[in-house]
Chains A and B, each alone.
Chain A
Amino acid sequence: MAEQDPRLESIARELSQFPAAVLQQYESAHGKARTLLSAEDLVTWAEQGAAISRQSVRAWEAATDYYAASMDVLPFLSFANFIPWSNYGADLCQASPTIAAAYFRASSHTLPHLRPRQVAGWSELGKSLSKGTWKSTALACKFFEVSPQMVPTMTFPEMERFIRFIDILSQRSYDLATECLDLSQQVFAQLGDSRDNFISLVTTLADANGNWREVKDCFAVGSRAVARVERTQRGRFLSLAERLSRSGQGGVISFLRDGSQGLGQLDYATHPVIISLGERLITIAPPAVPPFFAVVPSVLGRVSTPQLETWFGEGARLLGENLESGLAFFRMESAYSEELLDKLSAGVELSRVRDVVGLYSRALAGNDMEIAPSQELVDKGIGWVSGNHATIEGTTLYLPALIDGAPSKAENFAKLKVIATHQVVHQEFGSFGFEYEKPSTLFRDLRELVQHARHHIRDKSHDEAEAEPETVEEAVDSGPVSAETGWVTDMQGFFDVFPERKMALDIFTVVEDSRLDARVLREYRGIRPAYRRLQAESLEERPPIIEMPAQQGLVEFLIRVSLGQRTKLPVASYLREDAMLMAKLTLRVMRVGATVEDAAEAALRVYLFIAGIPNHFIPGNQWVMVDVPEDDDYEDPENIEDLLSRLDKPEPEEQEQEEGEGQGQQPYQSPQDVEYRGEFKPELVQLLEEMKEAQRQANEGEAPQLTREMLEELLAQSAELEQGGDYDLDTSATAKNLMREVGMKLPPKEAAQGQGPFIHIEDEGGPLEAKEPHTSVYDEWDFRAGDYRPRWCVVREKTMSEGDVGFWQTILQANSNMIQEIRRQFEQVRPETFRKIRRLQDGEEFDLDALVEAIVDQRLGISLPDRVYWRRNKTDRDVAVLFLLDMSASTGEAIDESRGGPDEWDAPGNPVDYMLWLRNRRAGDGPPRRTYKRIIDLEKESAILLIQALETLGDKYGIYGFSGYGRENVEYYTIKDLNEGLTEKVHKRIDKITPLHATRMGPAIRHSVKKLDDIDAKTKVLFLISDGRPQDRGYSREGVEKEYAVHDTRKALMEGKQKGIIPFCLTVDKAGHDYLKTMMGDMGYEVLSDISMLPQRLPELYKRLTV
């Protein structure tokens, strides 16, 4: 032990008065300090600690940390800098020992990142946060605690700004400020150069006008958001967010998240452009910025950047004129916006040409053709996997959602047309009509020989070979599987012939496609140029043959021949003969009159040739170029029957792979698809047909014949079910989906459908599509924007289920007097239809009075008489009327009870609330027998009475009901179709009219207008019977503005009026006058003061309207 300085001893003594930790720490630090400091400095060092500890009651804690930290600090801090450092600590200790302690603790890891002169600033920052309260102290401590990690991530001035921000924020909430400090280290580490902007942004948020609660989210989202933006643009992006916040606009966080996501989907090169546009936009209308960023990726998916700017300019102009319409424009909720984009873009969107392509395909195929995007078929999970390829299944043609490869719209459309044509001719030229037993027309049928050969082999090896797949034979006994042949579909039977199914499918596809294309080119001369162009393009995209192993190369060779290449086809010299034979086979099926069976025979032969060739890679020097002459003088080689033995090789894969490896034998792989030809899955298509047929029989009471197990077996064998791809398809799931697809029985939960529970789709988001049958999509009018929201509502048309016919009879009996009266009234209308018109030049008979006068005149020699006939002129009563009944929940109100105002039963916007609300509302009419009458009962009664009148008149009429929930579920019930006669079914349906959900009138009216428009009549009337204002979830702006619904309804009625339809609205809502005036304008309406008058009043009104 060295000699102790007495001063040090007294310090030690002094320290010993405090809890033991202080002295301990002093002593352990002293040991180290002694080696680093001169004797004098050592005393100063010790004295500093003692001075701190003397400051206040708990200052010893700070002193402890002082000594502990000094050990770490001294090695890199000169003593000249050490003193100020400790002084700052002492200073802090005066404010709070805890803070000082935190300061000292943080120092060892923080100081290395600070310049000596910044240490003062650093301690000052901590001090500035301390306001003498407990919470502020904690915050200041937190600051020092996180400093070691935080300081390296930012510059000192940035930190100063940041702490200023924390200070401001702490005035709002200390908890929040603390959390932000916690998050800061990791956020700033990721922010990089855009820290400054970020600090500005959060400061703005924390400022007086900002939404300080968003600050935390900003920290949570900020760094991730920024990471999606191109590095140099991050600052601009953040300052855009800041300006957004400054403008008083909420939603900065969602802007950060969604906006950056939008940018993230784009090429970095476009980021500066988009952000510049954003900066322009914020000067015009800040609220438009977030929607703009959200839609930008989809817009740029359709148009180029300069075109985007044109589109943007138009939106900006609109914003200047009318904020709402500009906003709708940028949200893509405006028809104008969509149209403009469509005009600008060269791409052809399927949804826009769907009707035309649908009718075109229908014309070609000769049966119903639905058009749907390919992705939809993929989503069904029934064996198709490519969302970009066209394909055809039954009566649905699946096409890519967007074609945009070519520079002009016309060319893209031409491409789509070629793609569609190629698919449709599968139907027209009978690809799926393949029958195994049907002879071909151009070849000797080898198929039969093959089957015999296979059976022969199979019988022989039956005992020994368990390995032989027996699945096909096992299935024999059970139904649609032909007992003779052992397969479900003919196509399956054909592919069963081949050991290597995948190769067989590839070959058959090429050969059949050649047949179809040749026939299209022959029979559709007009489409030839586009077709050939696409073939030529496809040829250019083909991968080089010489890089492929022999078998694959030969298939590729055929693909090229089928695409029209005739010269310079690379072939291995030793395969030249085979290749020429195959080319000739392909050319033969391109002949006039070739059938799908011919294609099958040709494919069989090609397979025989290829199967005999080892699948080696071919050395470069063996390749030669051949030309294929345009003739098809193919003749079967003499040994063709011997070649058939190539089909008998059992389980070739395993053997070949194992033995072959040494010789460079490759497993067979399919060549790349020809894009325009899409996916060809004849086996699946035939299977689906078969299943539909089976299901039809099952529905007719016959036992179902295809079991799920059989399906799974079948699918497991099929080469058309590719493993992998976008979706992992296992055969079991596919089988299940297939069964669901054709409506076969599944556990009830999975098969839920029909009038029951409705599917809720999230309300947010853009246009909808009518995917299912009997659905239609309509625009909706946004009166603020002054434009339509495109494809906004889906109307689902359903036929009302049938109830009891008793209701009809009861009403008839109860009202027999009134019915007689109504009939009498309307019969009076009828005679007017034949009116005797006198004094005509031409007619049925002489009009006696006129004739007498004429003869008198003639005798007097006055004039030559002519107008002396009369005739019955038919003043044609040609009226079609559509009654639209409101079936909303409110029609379940008892009419005797005093009704509250209509607003009382506002449908809540939130789905959960809505369901509760609905249940409560419906709870009232739970018991099946009601003693009171509801509005709907009167509606039903009126309908029955009116039918009497209409039948008397012979007018064409339809009765429909509507209700629904949300824009994707507008339910439209047919009670009596316009073209339907009055049958007992109609009587029964009327019984089933019940109050359902909400009232979205617009789409229901539009659908009615469409129905009336399709009808041929001189006078058309749309008669709306309702009990209140239109309302529905989301049928308003921001959920509050009820006028939206009223205006949309009005617009829908106006559309009808423009089509020559007379709208009339009869309501029983006493409060109806206020909104009906807006809704109906100069169109007819009536508010019924006494609802019980409805049955009488309705026929009266009708008479007034149409007679």
Chain B
Amino acid sequence: MEQPRPRGTGFQTLQIEEYVVEDEPFYMPLGNEIALFEAAYLQKIPVLLKGPTGCGKTRFVEHMAHRLSQPSSVRQSNGSEVRPVPLVTVACHEDLTASDLVGRYLIDAEGTRWIDGPLTRAVKVGAICYLDEIVETRKDTTVLIHPLTDHRRILPVEKQGLLMEANEGFLLVISYNPGYQSALKDLKHSTRQRFVSIEFDYPPMEIEAKILEHEAGVDAETAMSLAKLGEKVRNLKDHGLQEGSSTRLLIYAGKLISQGVPAREACQVSIVWALSDDIQVQRSMEEVISSIFE
């Protein structure tokens, strides 16, 4: 196994299961999602995070991984030893196969060698395994996680003829963006019903403004204007826009603004052009921007 390179060389390589969220990621709760997640973690119930793109699902998982790694976390009261919880994230795509998750044989000088996939590694070390945008994967791949998500908590590794029992700290978290995928790519019910769901949405304007202030480093007024813009642009969803402006995009705009890019221009590049190619829709958004920003 490679050693992490010393800091200062610009990059660091980690084994996937060694990634622990060290610094606390900023997260502003909108409801009691933190408590829910903690409860689910303690009870080993897999979690499904539902919500539009860029509303903070991934950030939430990171935040929770960090939170649960703290010595003072809820796990303590349960009597178990508080070890950092690694976070294994897999961005799912439509060509993601079972082998990609579980592992495969590689060939080397001696012949073939088995190498664990990210899911297997997470199962072994007891990490939170976060499958982002799960519906993008093929249906045969999705089925693979079923035995991990019920009381058995096992991962069959067919090619090796093994059954792997999940480590104590293992938790499967998947995310799903309803409405964005086509009907063909809907999550199967047999999959859905193995998770508790936490719904996410874009935060209300005041909270979003706070998030923007923190994340983008803009002043309160600009943050408020950006949040307002976010709200207005989201009103266009399904009316020319497939998706409203995510908090992430607003943060980008805010970051550009705090770098001295004029507000209108920053919004243009990070929101208007990002969201639509339709000239009418673009113009409408530009008008909203020019109403809000000087």
User: Least Cβ distance of A518 to chain B in Å?
Assistant: 15
Residue contact B239 to A362, C-beta cutoff 8 Å: yes
User: Least Cβ distance of B126 to chain A in Å?
Assistant: 27
A524 interfacial by beta-carbon distance below 8 Å: yes
Indicate which residue in A359, A367, A528, A846 contacts B280 across the interface (CB closer than 8 Å): A359
A855 interfacial by beta-carbon distance below 8 Å: yes
Residue contact B294 to A525, C-beta cutoff 8 Å: yes
B177 interfacial by beta-carbon distance below 8 Å: no
Indicate which residue in A359, A367, A527, A843 contacts B284 across the interface (CB closer than 8 Å): A359
Residue contact A526 to B159, C-beta cutoff 8 Å: no
Q: What sequence of 0s and 1s flags, for each residue 88-127 of chain A, a beta carbon within 8 Å of any chain B beta carbon?
A: 0000000000000000000000000000000000000000
- The number of residues on chain B lying at the interface, defined by a beta carbon within 8 Å of a beta carbon of chain A, is 39
Bound Cα distance A470, B159 (Å) = 88
Residues from chain A with a CB closer than 8 A to the CB of B290 are 526-527
Indicate which residue in B94, B264, B281, B284 contacts A526 across the interface (CB closer than 8 Å): B264
Bound Cα distance A167, B183 (Å) = 84
Binds A, one of B1-9, B17-25, B105-113: B105-113
Residue contact B240 to A359, C-beta cutoff 8 Å: yes
List of 4 A-B pairs having minimum Cβ-Cβ separation, nearest first: A359-B284, A527-B291, A363-B232, A366-B235
Q: Which A residue sits closest to B95, measured CB to CB?
A: A874
Binds A, one of B40-48, B96-104, B161-169, B209-217: B96-104
Residues from chain A with a CB closer than 8 A to the CB of B264 are 526
Q: Which of A356, A421, A872 gathers the greatest number of chain B CB atoms within 10 Å?
A: A356
Residues from chain B with a CB closer than 8 A to the CB of A523 are 228, 292
B225 interfacial by beta-carbon distance below 8 Å: yes
Indicate which residue in A357, A360, A868, A871 contacts B107 across the interface (CB closer than 8 Å): A868
A845 interfacial by beta-carbon distance below 8 Å: yes
Residues from chain A with a CB closer than 8 A to the CB of B138 are 874
The interface residues of chain B, by DSSP majority, are classed as helix
Residue contact B112 to A363, C-beta cutoff 8 Å: no
Which residues, 1057 to 1094 on A, are CB-close (under 8 Å) to B? none
A743 interfacial by beta-carbon distance below 8 Å: no
Bound Cα distance A871, B283 (Å) = 45
User: Besides A357-B287, A851-B112, 20 other CB < 8 A contacts?
Assistant: A355-B284, A356-B280, A359-B236, A359-B240, A359-B280, A359-B284, A363-B288, A366-B232, A367-B235, A368-B239, A417-B291, A524-B292, A525-B293, A527-B291, A527-B292, A528-B294, A845-B104, A871-B97, A873-B95, A874-B138
Q: What sequence of 0s and 1s flags, for each residue 228-266 of chain B, a beta carbon within 8 Å of any chain A beta carbon?
A: 100111011001100000000000000000000000100
B285 interfacial by beta-carbon distance below 8 Å: yes
Bound Cα distance A873, B94 (Å) = 10
B190 interfacial by beta-carbon distance below 8 Å: no
Q: What sequence of 0s and 1s flags, for each residue 855-898 of chain A, a beta carbon within 8 Å of any chain B beta carbon?
A: 10010000001001101111000000000000000000000000
User: Least Cβ distance of A900 to chain B in Å?
Assistant: 46
Indicate which residue in B105, B107, B285 contacts A363 across the interface (CB closer than 8 Å): B285
Q: Which of A362, A363, A526 gathers the greatest number of chain B CB atoms within 10 Å?
A: A363
Residues from chain A with a CB closer than 8 A to the CB of B183 are 981
Residues from chain B with a CB closer than 8 A to the CB of A874 are 94-95, 138
A-B contact count (CB 8 A): 94
Residue contact A844 to B104, C-beta cutoff 8 Å: yes
Q: What sequence of 0s and 1s flags, for each residue 114-148 of chain B, a beta carbon within 8 Å of any chain A beta carbon?
A: 00000000000000000000000010000000000
Bound Cα distance A846, B231 (Å) = 51
Bound Cα distance A646, B159 (Å) = 92
Q: Which of A421, A527, A843, A871 gathers the greatest number of chain B CB atoms within 10 Å?
A: A527
B289 interfacial by beta-carbon distance below 8 Å: yes
Bound Cα distance A720, B73 (Å) = 64
B182 interfacial by beta-carbon distance below 8 Å: yes
Q: Identify 13 residue pairs between A and B in the complex whose beta-carbon atoms are under 8 Å apart, listed by A's number.
A: A355-B284, A356-B284, A359-B239, A360-B284, A360-B287, A364-B232, A366-B231, A367-B235, A523-B292, A527-B292, A845-B159, A851-B107, A855-B107
Residue contact A363 to B233, C-beta cutoff 8 Å: yes
Which residues, 520 to 552 on A, are CB-close (under 8 Å) to B? 523-528
Q: A363-B235, A524-B291, A844-B104 are in contact. Are A1016 and B280 (CB under 8 A)?
A: no
Residue contact A362 to B291, C-beta cutoff 8 Å: no
Residue contact A954 to B291, C-beta cutoff 8 Å: no
A854 interfacial by beta-carbon distance below 8 Å: yes
Residues from chain A with a CB closer than 8 A to the CB of B107 are 846, 851, 854-855, 865, 868
Residues from chain A with a CB closer than 8 A to the CB of B109 are 858
Residues from chain B with a CB closer than 8 A to the CB of A869 are 104
Q: Which B residue sits closest to A834, measured CB to CB?
A: B138
A365 interfacial by beta-carbon distance below 8 Å: yes
Bound Cα distance A1062, B232 (Å) = 37
Q: What sequence of 0s and 1s flags, for each residue 340-383 of chain A, a beta carbon within 8 Å of any chain B beta carbon?
A: 00000000000000011111101111111000000000000000
Residues from chain A with a CB closer than 8 A to the CB of B159 are 845
User: Least Cβ distance of B225 to chain A in Å?
Assistant: 7
Residues from chain A with a CB closer than 8 A to the CB of B292 are 523-527
Q: A363-B233, A528-B294, A874-B94 are in contact. Are A844 and B99 (CB under 8 A)?
A: yes
User: Least Cβ distance of A876 to chain B in Å?
Assistant: 8
Bound Cα distance A846, B225 (Å) = 56
Bound Cα distance A528, B290 (Å) = 10
Q: What sequence of 0s and 1s flags, for each residue 268-294 of chain B, a beta carbon within 8 Å of any chain A beta carbon?
A: 000000000000110111011111111
Residues from chain B with a CB closer than 8 A to the CB of A865 are 107
Which residues, 200 to 232 on B, are CB-close (under 8 Å) to A? 225, 228, 231-232
Q: Which of B99, B107, B225, B293 gathers the greatest number of chain A CB atoms within 10 Å?
A: B107
